[in-house]
Structure 1
Amino acid sequence: MEGEALTWDTRLKIAIEAAQGLTFLHNSEKSVIYRDFKASNILLDSNFNAKLSDFGLAKLGPINGFSHVTTRVMGTHGYAAPEYMATGHLYVRSDVYGFGVVLLELLTGLRALDPTRPSAQQNLVEWAKPVLSQKKKIQKMMDPRLEHKYPLLAVVRIAALILRCLEADPKNRPPMDDVLRELEIVRTIREEPKGERRKRGNGGSDNNRVSGRGLPHVRRTGRTG
């Protein structure tokens, strides 16, 4: 995973294709909850086509009008939804929380949890959530390896989407088909002309950024198709 950083368009492509996978699972005849959505369960081939892998923790969703299933907690800390970690109650939209964490990793190039970062920043979600609604501060949080080569409007919209995905109450999170639709809209937003962009800062040091191309822990298959 060492080398040139992933471009903005490639990061969006990965997010959209991962969202398509979750949407398919959630909307299947027997709704399936992935339960352990995280960056390392996204496989990339040599063309950066993304597929979900490792369905070992997947579970059938609630039936007979129930809102959730109750199960032993087996997700990954940092990605698992708070209601699941606290109670073992697993909702279809518990997956949406994990997806929001991965989106945040894509924006920042930082791991969900990293004990080598300053104490206030070790938990990416706790550190970033207060910043995501502040347009000027979002830019300082972006992965500096993107070199500001992204449409600011697209970043702002994704930041708002991440906040919705990370809502504490699963009922307030968007369903994955809404998430997918918003990402597809964001992909149509192109970079604004340089003459209209305000001069941006350097984005700070990247010493605590993930080593790799911009998405922590994704696995490359080296194959196409």
Structure 2
Amino acid sequence: MQHKKTLQGRPPWPLAFRLTHQIALGINFLHSLSPALLHLDLKPSNVLLDSNLNAKLTDFGLARFSNSVTRVTKKDSEEEGGTLSYMPPEAFDISYNPTRASDIYSYAILVWSIVTGKQPYANARSTIVRFRIPEGDRPPLDEIRRQAAVVAGLTSLIDLMQECWDSKPNQRPSSRKCTTVTEELHKMHKHTIHDAVHEVLKKLDKNEEERIAEQITRLSITETSG
């Protein structure tokens, strides 16, 4: 997930719920086109945030209309630690015909990344990830489940994630259902979203100031040494 200043760690819950809803809206828009447009590369680095931390989908380099897709291949030179971890299990089949459900799976992993502030399978070798995803491995939910007792709606989001990353594409929900579920969760926390956004922007500004100060210090040290 990118911004002029990148978010670090999990955003406050009201913002996390808004982001999951806005991304679902973006996917639903693409999938509602006739023919449907499949993004096929949903991951944090392809979600941009505007100055008020609203999410926008970007990078449609792999996007295809659903009626023109026969086989999608990934170049070995691509950043496997990112894209690979968000690919659905069917993408590892010899014959892969992407559908709307392919994006829905990636959306689930993207939601997991938002609500944990982590990269999925961060320490696993790409060859292991490539093997284990089709075998049913998914990012762990233990940490999120522990927080569900005190965060309203989080259990519903966990249930949605699990539906979306089902091994069988035809068992995954539609993008419309994703927008419906996440809209309800966003509404639960809407009254505190302003404070959450302000908190994050303030933190990002502070980090930027510290970064600039550090650069100036390094420059001063270099000039003194010279």
Return the TM-score normalized by structure 2: 0.66
What is aligned with 2:170? 171
Change (3 A) 1:90 1:102: same
User: Structure 2: which amino acid aligns with 1:73?
Assistant: T
Shift of 1:72: 2.8
Q: Which of 104, 111, 117 is the equivalent residue of 1:103? A: 111
Cα separation, 2, equivalents of 1:152 and 1:4: 17
Q: Deviations over 1:46-85 (max 9, x none)?
A: 210111111010001037xxxxx42132292010111122
Change (3 A) 1:85 1:152: same
| Higher share of residues assigned helix | 2
Contact 1:151-1:189 within 8 A present in 2 as well: no
Q: Over aligned residues, Cα RMSD in angstroms? A: 3.3
SS at match of 1:93: helix
Q: Which of 36, 41, 54 is the equivalent residue of 1:31? A: 36
What is aligned with 1:93? 101
Shift of 1:97: 0.3
Q: Deviations over 1:82-101 (max 9, x none)?
A: 11222322111100000000
Unpaired stretches in structure 1, ≥5 consecutive residues: 64-68, 143-147, 192-211, 214-225
Q: Which of 46, 52, 62 is the equivalent residue of 1:47? A: 52
Q: Which has the higher contact order (CA 8 A, sep 6+)?
A: 1
Cα separation, 2, equivalents of 1:2 and 1:35: 23
> How is 1:1-225 mapped onto 2 (pairs within 5 angstroms)?
1=6, 6-62=11-67, 69-74=69-74, 76-86=83-93, 87-115=95-123, 126=137, 128=139, 131=141, 138-140=144-146, 152-190=151-189
Contact 1:151-1:190 within 8 A present in 2 as well: no
What is aligned with 1:216? none
Cα separation, 1, equivalents of 2:137 and 2:120: 10
Unpaired stretches in structure 2, ≥5 consecutive residues: 1-5, 76-82, 191-202, 205-226
Contact 1:73-1:85 within 8 A present in 2 as well: no
Contact 1:57-1:74 within 8 A present in 2 as well: no
User: Structure 1: which amino acid aligns with 2:40?
Assistant: R
| Rg comparison, structure with higher value | 2
- Structure 1 vs Structure 2: percent identity of aligned residues? 25
Cα separation, 2, equivalents of 1:183 and 1:81: 21
Q: Deviations over 1:107-129 (max 9, x none)?
A: 21110231189xx99x8993545
Cα separation, 1, equivalents of 2:7 and 2:57: 22
